Structure formats: C-alpha cells, structure tokens
Amino acid sequence: MKNQITTMKIQTLSGYIHEYQKSIINPEQFWSRIADEFYWKKPWSKTLKWNFDEPKIEWFVDGKLNITENILDRHLYTMKDKPAIIWEPNDPKEDNRVLTYKDLYEQVCQFSNAMKAQGVEKGDRVIIYMPMVPEAAIAMLACARIGAVHSVVFAGFSSSSLADRIDDCKAKMVLTSDGNFRGTKKIPVKDVVDEALEKTSSVEKVIVYKRTEQEVKWNDNVDLWWHDAIDGQSKECEAEEMDAEDLLFILYTSGSTGKPKGVVHTCGGYMVWTAFTFQNVFQYMQGDTYWCTADVGWITGHSYIVYGPLLSGATSLMFEGVPTWPDAGRFWEIVDKYQVNQFYTAPTAIRALQAHGLEPVKKHNLDSLKVIGTVGEPINEEAWNWYHTHIGKTNCPIVDTWWQTETGGIMISPLAGITPNKPSYATLPLPGIQPVIVDNDGNELKGNGVEGNLCIKFPWPGMLRTTYGDHDRCKQTYFSSFKGLYFTGDGVKRDHDGYYRILGRVDDVINVSGHRMGTAEVENAINEHPRVVESAVVGYPHDIKGQGIYAYVIADLSTRTEENLTNEIRDMVANIIGPIAKPDKIQIVPGLPKTRSGKIMRRILRKIAEGNTDNFGDTSTLLDPGVVEKIIKNRK
Ligand code: PRX
C-alpha cells in the first residue's frame, strides 16, 4: 500500500495555470493521475462516463476501494503517533483530547464492529445526530468502513426535521448522545431522537454516546450506550470493498421547493476531490495544525474537518463550543493554544466577532496563522478587511472558498499564497472546474466583465450523483434550468481580470448565517399555525447573519394579540424546522401582492423587506396594487 498522500500539489501561479489547462484539455488523464495516488483495491477501467441529461455521472468506473483505508490503514505505519483529531471541549476547563492516527484507526474499527454486531450491513443507512465530539467523526468513518451510508443531521434540527430525514432514507440506526453542550446550555439531544422515533418506524437501534450525563428516557429494546456497544469489540475490522460509485453518504439540504433533499455523494470521486482541494486550497504542510470551525452536520464539516484533512494525513482540530463563550476571544485563544496554522470559518462568525470590537482579539498573539479562509456566504469587503488586518495581520492569504453541499468540495477559490487575493472575490476556478455564466434565457455570456447565472459545464469528481430516492428531483433542480449544464442557483460576476465574485442566490433559497433555508420550507412551517391563512417569506440584508428571514403573514387576529401570535409563529417554526429557521421579522399583513393568476410577487416583498420602497418596476400585473401601500405603511 502506498504510504503517504501526495496528491498533485500546485505551488506557483504558473503551475496553477498550467495544471488548469491540462485539466480542461484532458480531464480523464488529469484525474486518473491524481486518483492513482490513492490506495485502490482494484483499479478503475474507465476514468469518466457522463451525461448531464439523465444525469448520469460515473468516475473511476469499476474501481474498488474503501475510503477509510486511505485515511487510516495507509497512515498507520508512517504517522501512527501523529495527532489526527485534536478536540477542544465546549468548556475550556475540561480536558481536551488528542487522537493519533493509530487511536483513530482502533476506535473506528472498534465502533465498526459494534455497529455490525447490532445488525448494520453494507448499504444500510445510519443517521448521526451528535454533538461535535470525536465520536461523531468516528461514527462517520465507521459507517464508511463497513459500507453503511451515513447521513449526519445537524443536532440543532428539530425532531420533525430529524423524523423527515429518517423516513426519507429509511434509516436502520441512529447514533446520538444524551445531551449536547453549547456555551452555558445543555441541549437534550436524546429527547429529540425519542420524539423523532415516535413518528417513524424504520429505526431498529439507537446508540447513545454519554456526553453531558443528563438523565434520559431509556428503552431497552432500542437504546444502547456507546460504551456498552464497543465493550469487548476488536480494534481490527476489515474494510468492506466498495465500488467507486457506491454511496458514501447522504446529506440533506434545502432547496427552493418542497422538503430538504438528500444529496448523494459516492466513494471514489468524493475521496479524490476532497483530498485534492484540501491540499491545494489550504496549502497544508505536514506538521501543520488545521482548524475548520464548522459543524460536522454541514458539508463543510464533512469535507474539511473529516474527509479532506484526514485523507491528507493532516491534524484536524475539532471544537465543540461556540465562538462567544466564555468570551468573544474563544476562537483566538484556541488558535494560540494549539498554534493553528490554517483557520477556516464563515463570514457570519467574522462579522459577529467584529461586532465585539478588538479587545478580545488583542489579548492573543495569532502569529501561528499562515492561511485564513471563509465559506458559506458572500463576504462583504468590510468583514474581509477586518479579517485580513486583525486576524491575518495582513500577511495571511485569505481563501474565500465558493462551493455547495452538491459540489462535495471547493470549486472556486484562491490557492493560498498563490492566487493573488481581491477582497470579496472567490477568484478563480480550481483545476477541473469549468464555470460558465448564462443569462436567463440560457445564452452563455462569454468574455470578462459579465454577470449572470453560474453554471458548470463539465463534471468534476466530487459532484453529487443524485438526490436520494428521487432522481428526477436531481434532474429538475440542477440539470433542467439550462440545457447541458449544472445550475448552481447562484448569481455571479466575472470581472475584467476574469475573477469570479459570487453575488448570492438567484432562487428562493436564503442564506442565513451561512445556512441554507428554503423560503417554501419556512412558509410551510408558518402555515401550520391554525390562525395563519397564508404567508410569504423572503430574505433581507442583515448585518451579522448576511441575510435575515422576513415573513409576511395573513392571519386571524380575533383571538390573540399580534405579539402573542408572532411569538407563537416563531416557536412553531423552531419546533418544525429548528431554531435556525426562526423569522427575524414577522409582519401581519392584510393581503399579499399577487398577480392576476395568483402568483405572489416576491420581488416586491423583497424590496419592501430591504427598505427599498421607491421603485418596484413593473407592477401592472398586480391584482390589487393597494395592498402594497398597506404593507409598506406597517413595515417592520
Ligand atoms: O450561495 C452559495 C453560498 O452557499 C451556498 C451553498 O450552501 P451549502 O450547500 O449549505 O454549502 C455551504 C458550504 C459550502 C452557495 O450556493 N456560498 C458558499 N460559499 C460561498 C457562498 N457564497 C459566496 N461566497 C462563498 N465563498
């Protein structure tokens, strides 16, 4: 077995340009060379088969592998004592934990055996609803080891959201904890799982990791403690042979219509893509300590806490807590404590910390930092400059990385220290990525100095393959808006230097603190309230969150005050989706601006929410123009 991952690492700007050209001229040759750096149980017979019409995308056809052999076994001999995961607990007074590659190997194997003993087999779906503890990563890797398909659900989602996901993928097992620490709070995670199980029928076993020691309800037929499950299990477990196109995981994400969909990633392509992008974007060097502040419940945690770094033999820091507890210097304290070299976070966290002023930053040195990164939403210039000046001390390149749950890994981003930065620009596409900009009629806008819809015209190894259980939805959502292209849902500008700046979503998806929310999803939750007649939800600019949620609601106020009703609506949304979906503003309105055919004119509602009430453009199709005046008068 090859011992060390050295996926092709670009080191200069001319090297980037050269490799990019090669990746476009002969993609199959380019990717087969990189894939060849990994350990395969059986080589692939064809590098790529694809069409974007069905769509059907296959990378490394007939290749057999197990991704965990590339994370664990291959690093066992060369770096067994190197820290793989460093874990910083919520409470700085609690002991931290360091898991070496050998520890990780043993603990993953042991938990793999524990799951097998409970009847989990290749192809079964396992839901992971856990706090940010190393066991969450162990759980993901153990699933991958035995060929089970993991689906991590962010532990802030409600029991209904969890139940929907369990049901959609017919999960056989749920992995969870008794509770979850977040700052001063203890969140009863196991209770949420219990509630979800009442609404679903596929789950046979729940394995519970003891974290907070809070009391939990217990059902002996279903529940099993993590420590009991691993007791006596061997620390060796043979890795299941997986086809390159077998499912690795499902991750649910919101779209503009309907319920969240299960984005499917497969074993071979995702492995190659996450390792390649991690090493090139962050320019990770052996010996560095890398920290991504995301939660493993999101794609960023999957690709850039767990898979990308660990495939690269990196030391990945995992933080359980929040940026503002015990104080707003917590991130910077951790950077100094572990001498973090690469730091990767979201613009919303930067803006929130910026609002606390410079005192919490000044107490810390931060001189270990070499690269700082952002992800999840457009970063405004002010936040970019603050990050650059006060955290990067003007000498750390910023990698503003644009990508999506569906893309599996970073797509457009500077390579740290190689691609010249420009504030608020994600800059240039990574090798293998062929972005095109099209107008609303699908005409390609060629050349520089253009703005339009961002599409990708050629497959890359880490792209989604389908949406779980509903391939047609995948086709409709991503491959039908513009023929022959993958449509991202984002608007983009390509400037005169050919640099890309992401402008935000052009569909009915809002991005709240870097979290994707479907407006229809929030509306459906609001409409569950018995006094609500109809609602319309839009995003509006928010200083910290990037976008806030503004809900216009038609409701019967005969039995409640407006304040009581809006509070009830907020609670309702938190119960149905989770606290992150709570509207920031709720306005009770007498009607909604609709066209004669009954379609809500969201464009107008967006403008009102933004406070831009002068120019609504063409309103001649409005059924009742008077309603707009009434809404403006009582704007929140
Ligand atoms: O609108 C883009 C925004 O986040 C969306 C993807 O969200 P999600 O699937 O939850 O993944 C987030 C983490 C990868 C995109 O469609 N987005 C992501 N990164 C950036 C961004 N917008 C601007 N700049 C970015 N760097």
DSSP states of 343-391: EEE-HHHHHHHHTT-SHHHHT---TT--EEEEESSPPPHHHHHHIIIII
What's the rounded Cα separation, in Å, for the pair 426 and 406?
A: 18
Residue nearest to atom 24 of ligand 1 (CA): 378
Cis peptide before 583 (omega within 30 of 0): no
For residue 125, give Cα distances in angstroms to 79, 128, 202, 204, 464.
32, 10, 10, 11, 17
For residue 634, give Cα distances in angstroms to 98, 236, 554, 588, 604.
55, 65, 13, 9, 15
pLDDT digits (tens, 9 = 90+) for 541-587: 999 999 999 999 999 999 999 999 999 999 999 999 999 999 999 99
The full DSSP string for 516-539 is: EEEHHHHHHHHHTSTTEEEEEEEE
* Mean pLDDT, range 70-89, rounded to an integer: 96
* Mean pLDDT, range 478-506, rounded to an integer: 97
Amino acid (1-letter code) at residue 450:
V
The pLDDT assigned to 622 comes to 84
Which atom of ligand 1 is found nearest the CA of 426?
26
Q: How far is the CA of 488 from the centre of ligand 1 (A)?
A: 10
Binding residues for Mg(2+): 529, 532
Binding residues for ATP: 376-378, 400-405, 490, 505, 516
- Cβ count near 96 (within 10 Å): 15
Q: How far is the CA of 295 from the centre of ligand 1 (A)?
A: 15
The pLDDT assigned to 7 comes to 60
For residue 6, give Cα distances in angstroms to 284, 413, 507.
11, 20, 39
Residue nearest to atom 8 of ligand 1 (CA): 404
At a CB cut-off of 8 Å and minimum separation 6, what does 131 contact? 155, 177, 179, 180, 181, 189, 211, 320
- Cβ count near 472 (within 10 Å): 11
Nearest Cα neighbor of 568 from 529, 541, 533 is 529
Q: How far is the CA of 476 from the centre of ligand 1 (A)?
A: 20
Residue nearest to atom 13 of ligand 1 (CA): 376
Q: What is the DSSP letter of 298?
A: S
The pLDDT assigned to 4 comes to 54
The pLDDT assigned to 618 comes to 77
Q: Report whether 172 contacts 124 (CB < 8 A).
A: yes
The pLDDT assigned to 6 comes to 59
Binding residues for CoA: 300, 513
3-state secondary structure of 420: coil
Residue nearest to atom 25 of ligand 1 (CA): 402
* Mean pLDDT, range 99-110, rounded to an integer: 98
Nearest Cα neighbor of 395 from 367, 414, 361 is 367
What's the rounded Cα separation, in Å, for the pair 306 and 138?
A: 9
Select from 292, 387, 411, 516 the residue to mutate for testing ligand 1; criterion: most ligand atoms less than 8 Å from CB.
516
The pLDDT assigned to 620 comes to 79
- Cβ count near 21 (within 10 Å): 12
Select from 481, 502, 509 the residue to mutate for testing ligand 1; criterion: most ligand atoms less than 8 Å from CB.
502
Q: C-alpha dihedral over 6, 12, 15, 20, to 10 degrees?
A: 90
Q: What are phi and psi of 220, to 5 degrees?
A: -55, -25
Select from 402, 413, 421, 505 the residue to mutate for testing ligand 1; criterion: most ligand atoms less than 8 Å from CB.
402
Nearest Cα neighbor of 189 from 133, 138, 112, 149 is 133
Which atom of ligand 1 is found nearest the CA of 509?
1
Select from 293, 375, 488, 509 the residue to mutate for testing ligand 1; criterion: most ligand atoms less than 8 Å from CB.
375
Binding residues: 300, 376-378, 400-405, 490, 505, 513, 516, 529, 532
* Mean pLDDT, range 71-89, rounded to an integer: 96
Q: Which residues line ligand 1 (CB under 6 A)?
A: 253, 299-300, 375-378, 400-405, 426, 488-490, 502, 504-505, 511, 516
**Half-sphere exposure of residue 84: CA atoms within 13 angstroms, side-chain side:** 31
Q: How far is the CA of 401 from the centre of ligand 1 (A)?
A: 8
Burial class (CB in 10 A: 0-12, 13-18, 19+), 33: middle
Q: How far is the CA of 371 from the centre of ligand 1 (A)?
A: 20
What's the rounded Cα separation, in Å, for the pair 126 and 248?
A: 11
Residue nearest to atom 4 of ligand 1 (CA): 376
pLDDT digits (tens, 9 = 90+) for 37-65: 999 999 999 999 999 999 999 999 999 99
- Cβ count near 596 (within 10 Å): 9
* pLDDT above 70: residue 2: no
* pLDDT above 70: residue 1: no
For residue 555, give Cα distances in angstroms to 530, 535, 599.
9, 9, 19
**pLDDT-above-70 percentage for the chain:** 99
Complex ipTM value: 0.99
The pLDDT assigned to 258 comes to 79
Q: How far is the CA of 441 from the centre of ligand 1 (A)?
A: 24
The pLDDT assigned to 50 comes to 98
Nearest Cα neighbor of 254 from 599, 630, 508, 574 is 508
Select from 295, 302, 404, 411 the residue to mutate for testing ligand 1; criterion: most ligand atoms less than 8 Å from CB.
404
pLDDT digits (tens, 9 = 90+) for 607-624: 999 999 888 877 778 888
| pLDDT confidence band for 625 (50 / 70 / 90) | confident
Q: How far is the CA of 469 from the centre of ligand 1 (A)?
A: 24
Q: How far is the CA of 375 from the centre of ligand 1 (A)?
A: 6
The model's pTM is 0.96
Greatest CA separation for the chain: 74
What's the rounded Cα separation, in Å, for the pair 123 and 137?
A: 19
What's the rounded Cα separation, in Å, for the pair 72 and 311?
A: 8
Residue nearest to atom 21 of ligand 1 (CA): 377
What's the rounded Cα separation, in Å, for the pair 162 and 196?
A: 6
At a CB cut-off of 8 Å and minimum separation 6, what does 242 contact? 64, 65, 66, 67, 147, 248, 267
Q: How far is the CA of 403 from the centre of ligand 1 (A)?
A: 5
Which atom of ligand 1 is found nearest the CA of 412?
26
pLDDT digits (tens, 9 = 90+) for 194-240: 999 999 999 999 999 999 999 999 999 999 999 999 999 999 999 99
Q: How far is the CA of 514 from the centre of ligand 1 (A)?
A: 7
Q: What are phi and psi of 50, to 5 degrees?
A: -160, 150
The pLDDT assigned to 63 comes to 98
Amino acid (1-letter code) at residue 467:
T
pLDDT digits (tens, 9 = 90+) for 5-42: 556 889 999 999 999 999 999 999 999 999 999 999 99
Q: How far is the CA of 504 from the centre of ligand 1 (A)?
A: 8
Q: What is the DSSP letter of 63?
A: -
